[in-house]
Structures are given as structure tokens and as C-alpha cells.
Chain A
Amino acid sequence: MGKMISFALNGNKMAVEVKDHWTLLHLLREELGLLGTKEGCGSGECGACTVIVDGMAVNSCLFPGLEIAEKDVVTIEGLTSPDGTLHPLQKSFVENGGIQCGYCTPGMIMSAKALLDESPNATEEEIKHSLAGNICRCTGYVQIIDSIKSISEGGVEEVHVVAWKNKEKDE
């Protein structure tokens, strides 16, 4: 069984047929060919599959594909400009040694982006709390946290990380 749904993927409106049992991860990788988003555990534990839906970081491996109808989905592919310029977070990961094998990197960067969009000057504590669901087997995390801190401590104006507004607000 499948249904036609429309949603925005990295800013582009599109309509696709989605089978009822597909996860968002399956849709992205197997149907749309976007291989930036990784599958690690497939069960919510590792964060390699993290993407941003309506401003919120989610595990795409557990996200029902049909639930993205009328929503904004941002994946790691959406961060790089069409001319190839890296997003400041990507650049910072490269410059600070936040990447070794790179398998966790797309998920790490998407989690970090969701955090910084919401609180651009996040503290180290907030960064650690927000990355608790992203496992890295290589770096030991220090360089990853440094990569994010160098943005959160660097001031917002220069880096334009505020792209997506979170819908839900505290009452």
C-alpha cells in the first residue's frame, strides 16, 4: 500500500509515493538515493540516521515515512550550498578534527544544527546533553564537542546557522 504525500526536502517541495511501512530512512536512502544519512543500529540507539524534521532532530530509522507529509525535512545534503560551499558546522568539523571514519558525522552535524538553530550560544553542557543520542566510535567526542563549541562561542551573525524555526514554543 502506498500514498502520495508532499513535503519539503532540503528546501525543495516534492511529491512522492510512500509505502505505509517505509521509514523515513528507507525513503531517503533507498528511494531518493540520498546516501548522506547513515544507518547504524536501526533502533534509535546510535543517532547515525539523524535528520531534522520541522526543526527537530529525529532518528529517521524509527520515523514513519508517511509522517513527513507537509513537513520540512533537512538532511546533511541540505547543508552544503549548491556551489559546494560547506556549512559552517561542516567546516568546523573538518578544521577541528571532528571527523575520523566519518560514519557518525552526518548524524552529529544534524544534531548539532538542530541545537544551534534553537540556542545559538549553547554551552558545553547543552552540547553534551544534545549529543547524548549520537555515538562515535572513533574520535572520543572531544574534537566533536570542540567543533561545535567553536561555532557556539563564535557568535551567530557570521555563521548563519539559524535556518529553521522550531514550531513548538514553551508556554
Chain B
Amino acid sequence: MKQFAYLVPRSLDEAISFHEAHGDRAKYVAGGTDVLVKIKEGKILPDYLISLKHILGQDRPLLNQETGELYIGSFVTHRMIEKSAIVRIHYPILHDAIRNIGSVQIRNVATIGGNLVNAVPSADGAIPLITLDATANIQGPKGERSVDLARFFLGPGLCDLERSEILIEIVVPPLLLRTGSAYIKFGRREAMELPMLGVGVLLSLGESSVTCVKARICLGVAAPTPIRALEAEAFLVGKPIDGGTLEKAGKIAAKESRVRDSIRGVAWYRREMVGVLVKRMGLKCMERIKKLAQ
């Protein structure tokens, strides 16, 4: 394996200054489940790995009781999110997605930040967080900035990070009352598989618990980046939610998807499945809203 120096900064500023000093010869590493595989395969050849593991403060999901915002530090491992009771109860869409990323061994070390920065079209962490309207906080040589996660992904393997910038945390805005959310990673196997499709749906209902006041539909592996099915979302708002409306929304979302033929599945089948899964996840949202009300 390629030799490299392993640097262990203790603060964000130190990490950023290390990266600036070494430029393209350096690579940040968090869990390393992507970086180390790529180094072993010879796909990247960094001279310096800058570990983000020893920077404190960005290390667990935290609900701000006053604002209702959920903060997820970038260096939080998938396993910590999987085990978080707050996430399981209030953000089930994130729990659905995270618990099926890789294996326990992978989730014990892999981070949510690494998952997002990887920016692969199949990143299971991205879809639920976009569905939840999350923003990404970023720190770099020029200071801090925020970007909507929906705009963070620019292409396969490409995200909105300037050189030396670090994704530091994800912020999920407060949920409306009567909100349900669900994600499905659809593939040929139950585990250890990248999805053929990832579908996230969030629905919020009005006081009558019938009419939709907010809808989010986000698709993974359906385009070069995660995408929202904006027309299908707009179609649902103001309508009573039942199997029929969800089926129509699914058909619209299928049209909006830009699926391709690939080794993991052919385009026509994927498109068909977008419709099926949007409906299925919509029904699951409804089930979850009912359960919360009880």
C-alpha cells in the first residue's frame, strides 16, 4: 500500500492549516472506509492523511430543545446515529437509512460527514437529510458558511467544498406537527449492498390529519446527484393523502427521475420502482403519523 504520513490535528483550525500547508498532496480522513479502500486500490495517492477523528465537539446528534433543531456533528459515526433514541423516534427516515449502511463494522467507524462528502449518487445518508431540509455547516480557511444540503451535491463524487474546507455539522430544522418520514434502500440483497434506488418521503398533515401541508420526495441513484421530485411534491400539497394520491405522486416522481441502465438495474425497471416505492414510503409516513398521535 502507498505510504503516507498520518497527521492528527486536535482542532478544526489546526486541521485546516495542515491541509493548506500540503494542498493536493493531503486528504482528510474520518472513518477511512472510503479513503483507505481508494488508497489500497491505488485510486488516490495522498502523501498526507489528516485525521478528523480527534477533533472534539462534533461527535453526536443533539436536539436543541429551544429551537427544535437537530444538530448532527460531521464526525458522528453511523452507529451513533443508529443508536440514538431521538433519531429513532423523531427522525425515523434517518434511522431507516443509517441502520442499513454497510455492516456494523463499517458503521462503527464510518461517519455521516464522510458519507456526504463522498457525494456518490447512492450515498444513503444524503437522501434522508435532504428530505428533512437539512443544511450543512462548513468551515474553511476563509471562515464559516452554510449551504442547503439539496444544493451541496454537484455531480458524482463532487460536492460544494472548496479546497481545505471541512464539513462540520448538519442542521435539521424543526419538524412540523403531524409529520411522518420514511426511507427505503432498494436493492437485490438485504445487506452489504449499494442501493439500486434510494427513496425518501416526508409528509406533514394539517389539523384534520388528512390534508397534506408539506411534502418532500427525494431520490437516490435516480440521477447523477440526489434529486428532489419537485413536481410530485407540489402535486401532494393541499390534497388529502391516501393510496390513490400517493400512487399518482409516485408516477409523477418516476417521470422526474433520470434513471439509467447500469449493472445494478435497468432504467425502465428503476423508473417503475420509483413509483412503487414513493407510494410505499408515503403510506409508511401515514402509518408513522398515526402512531405518533396515539
A interacts with B: yes
Binding site for B on A (CB under 8 A): 1, 19-21, 23, 42-45, 47, 50, 56-59, 62-64, 66-67, 111, 114-115, 129-130, 132-134, 168, 170-171
A44 to B33, CA, bound (A): 7
Question: 1/0 contact trace for B1-21 toward A, CB 8 Å?
Answer: 111111010000000000000
Question: Given A21-B4, A43-B41, list of 16 further CB < 8 A pairs?
Answer: A21-B1, A56-B79, A57-B105, A58-B109, A62-B36, A64-B36, A66-B8, A67-B51, A129-B99, A129-B104, A130-B104, A132-B190, A133-B102, A168-B80, A168-B83, A171-B61
Q: Which residues of A contact B29 (CB under 8 A)?
A: 64
Q: In chain B between 95 and 154, which residues have their CB closer than 8 angstroms to a CB of chain A?
A: 99, 102-106, 108-109
Q: Are A62 and B4 in contact (CB under 8 A)?
A: no
A-B contact pairs, 24 of them (CB 8 A): A19-B3, A20-B3, A23-B1, A42-B40, A43-B37, A44-B37, A44-B102, A47-B105, A56-B79, A58-B109, A59-B106, A62-B32, A62-B33, A64-B6, A64-B32, A64-B49, A67-B51, A67-B53, A114-B104, A132-B191, A132-B192, A133-B102, A168-B83, A171-B84
Q: Are B6 and A57 in contact (CB under 8 A)?
A: no
Choose among A132, A134, A168 the residue with the greatest number of B CB atoms under 10 Å from its CB: A132
Q: Which residue of chain B has the shortest Cβ distance to A22 in the bound complex?
A: B1
Assess whether A170 is in contact with B105, with CB atoms less than 8 Å apart: no
Which of B41, B51, B104 has its CB near the most chain A CB atoms (within 10 A)? B104
Asked if B60 is an interface residue, CB under 8 A from chain A, the answer is yes
Scoring B37, B41, B85 by chain A CB atoms within 10 A of each residue's CB, the highest score goes to B37
The yes or no answer to B267 lying at the interface (CB within 8 A) is no
- B5 and A1 within 8 A (CB): yes
Interface assignment of B213: CB less than 8 Å from any CB of chain A: no
- Complex alpha-carbon distance, A55 and B61, angstroms: 20
- Least CB distance from B100 to A in Å reads 9
Question: With A and B bound together, what is the CA distance between A42 and B8 in angstroms?
Answer: 24
Contact of B192 with A133 in the complex, beta carbons under 8 Å = yes
Chain A residues with CB under 8 Å of B106's CB are: 44, 59, 133
Q: Does B223 contact A (CB under 8 A)?
A: no
Cβ–Cβ < 8 Å partners of B62 in chain A: 171
Q: Smallest CB-CB separation from A54: which chain B residue?
A: B108
Q: Is the interface of B mostly helix, strand, loop or mixed?
A: mixed
How many A-B contacts if CB must be within 8 Å? 92
Chain A CB within 10 Å — which of B40, B53, B108 has the most?
Answer: B108
Asked if B60 contacts A171 (CB within 8 A), the reply is: yes
Shortest beta-carbon distance from A25 to chain B in Å? 11
Chain B residues whose CB sits within 8 angstroms of the CB of A57 once the complex forms: 104-105, 108
Cβ–Cβ < 8 Å partners of B5 in chain A: 1, 20
Cβ of A63 and Cβ of B6 under 8 Å apart? Answer: no
3 nearest CB pairs, A to B: A133-B103, A132-B191, A20-B6
Query: For the complex, what is the distance from the CA of A114 to the CA of B107, rounded to whole Å?
Result: 13
Cα(A77)–Cα(B209), bound, Å? 58
- Min Cβ gap A59→B in Å is 5
Contacts of A133 on B, CB cut-off 8 Å?
A: 102-106, 191-192
B174-190 to A contact mask, C-beta < 8 Å, 1/0: 00000000000000001
Q: Which of A45, A58, A132, A171 contacts B108 (CB 8 A)?
A: A58
Bound-state CA distance A1–B191 (Å) is 38
Measured in the bound complex, the distance between the Cα atoms of B30 and A62 in whole Å is: 12
User: With the chains together, A111 CA to B49 CA distance in Å?
Assistant: 28
Complexed CA–CA distance, A79 and B262 (Å): 45
Q: Which B residues touch A132, using CB under 8 A?
A: 103-104, 190-192
Contacts of B276 in A (CB 8 A): none
User: When the two chains form their complex, are residues A21 and B105 in contact, meaning their CB atoms are under 8 A apart?
Assistant: no
